[in-house]
Amino acid sequence: MTGVFSLLPDGRHGLLGPPFDGGADLSRHLAAGGYAPLPAPGRLLDRIAAVGLRGRGGAGFPAAVKLRTVRDAAGPPVVVANGEEGEPGSVKDRWLLRHRPHLVLDGLRLAAALTGAARGHVYLSDAPAEQAVRQALAERPLDLPVDVVRAEHTYVAGEETAVVRRIDGGPALPTAKPPRPYESGVGGAPTLVANVETLARIAALHARPDDADLVAGAHLVTLSGAGGAAALVEVTAGTHLTVLADLAGHGRAGAVLLGGLFGGLHGAGWRDLPLDHDGLSAAGGALGCGALYFLRPEDCPVAVAAEATAYLAAQSARQCGVCVSGTGALATTLGAVARGEASDGTAETLRRWSRQLPGRGACGLLDAAAHLAATLLTHFPDRVDAHRGSACPACADPAPCDGRRFTVPVP
């Protein structure tokens, strides 16, 4: 069973708000200070910079830098609320759009004011989220025109150039960079593509300036795994992963898959890892979209890596030859390892590919697949070696490529 929990200190409410009761989102948002006038956009932008708010889409780029870059670009800009969650193990963006649409839209109108944008878009693929956003816009229209753009759900559809391409009427597929959207985006205009959690935090910073550090430092995290419950949790940065595992009944976990499929596998020592960008990066992982998948002691990390790379290979946009061949080779080889068909040189081949492939595709999909292989070899070399000549029971079935193991229902 899924759940929604807040672990913020002193009983304070973050983006999740009070325990969700299905009540009217607009009245709740207005009561919390939402849609307040913005007399001095520069002051809010300075506050965003001062508290170090980072984007919540995966890369963790400083939000103030991105806002200023779009503001200072040539030509009238466009702002986009990006709610397309490609990671199957993440639910935070769809949850916000379904249950806190006014918080996201408030952040979108503030981003427009900060950048000087005269039009905006909400980009998503989830039908219930689209219905909630359209209803919210009908309840309280923003002071700039906003289009709701629906895309087909794929792993790469939320990549920022894919977002721009779809809004402009094309397929939701990444394009080569440069230019990046802040240089030339929707209709050729400088474009801010901002994750919906990032926008929600901007709205919360404006409504509750006294809680600025808490708002900027907290994260929405999706917890899942076969050994416990799935949950959406708001937690302060730096919280040890063992606290989150225990909360959702994953205390027996022997390993964790970090940041959706992007942050890789982590074995011994995972319990002491802090939930923040710098701490996880220093440990060779990544926070990414904040999705954590816990592996039970009886789960085989080889099977998890094989299934994850099979999914990524199936989700390739098939525009970059190196991605098609690279993800395919990684998936095929890890599948062979899982089946007990690895040779003496297989591990070294995977290690070489994990060094050579990152950065060569138009988006991060190939990087994610390569990092999965690299972290499997780093943290579980003995498990890989044990598969030479024989598969373990957990790897008996072929790895499906639909992401079913990692998929979490929206609570």
Q: Where are the domains of the chain?
A: 8-214, 301-406
User: Residue 299 has what DSSP assignment?
Assistant: S
Instruction: Tell me if the pTM is above 0.75.
Output: yes
- Per-residue model confidence as pLDDT tens for the chain (411 residues): 468 888 898 877 789 876 555 557 899 899 989 999 998 899 999 999 999 999 998 788 999 999 999 999 988 999 999 999 999 999 999 999 999 999 999 999 999 999 999 999 999 999 999 999 999 999 999 999 999 999 999 999 999 999 999 999 999 999 988 899 999 999 999 999 999 999 999 999 999 999 999 999 999 999 999 888 899 999 999 999 999 999 899 999 999 999 889 889 999 999 999 999 999 999 999 898 999 999 999 999 999 999 999 999 999 888 888 889 989 999 999 999 999 888 889 999 999 999 999 888 888 889 999 999 999 999 999 999 989 887 788 787 777 878 888 899 898
Residue 231 makes CB contacts below 8 A (sequence gap 6+) with: 2, 3, 4, 5, 222, 223, 224, 247, 248, 411
CATH of domain 8-214: 3.40.50.11540
8-214 with 301-406: one CATH topology? Answer: no
Residue 192 and residue 80: Cα distance in Å, rounded? 6
Can you tell me which residue has the tokens 């002051």?
A: 43
- Fold classification of 301-406 is de novo design (two linked rop proteins) (1.20.1440)
Among candidates 311, 312, 305, which has minimal Cα distance to 363?
312
Length of the chain: 411
Asked if the bond preceding 398 is cis, omega within 30° of 0, the reply is: no
Distances (CA, A) of 101 to 44, 119, 202, 392, 395: 21, 18, 14, 46, 42
User: Distance between alpha carbon 353 and the CA centroid of its chain, in Å?
Assistant: 25
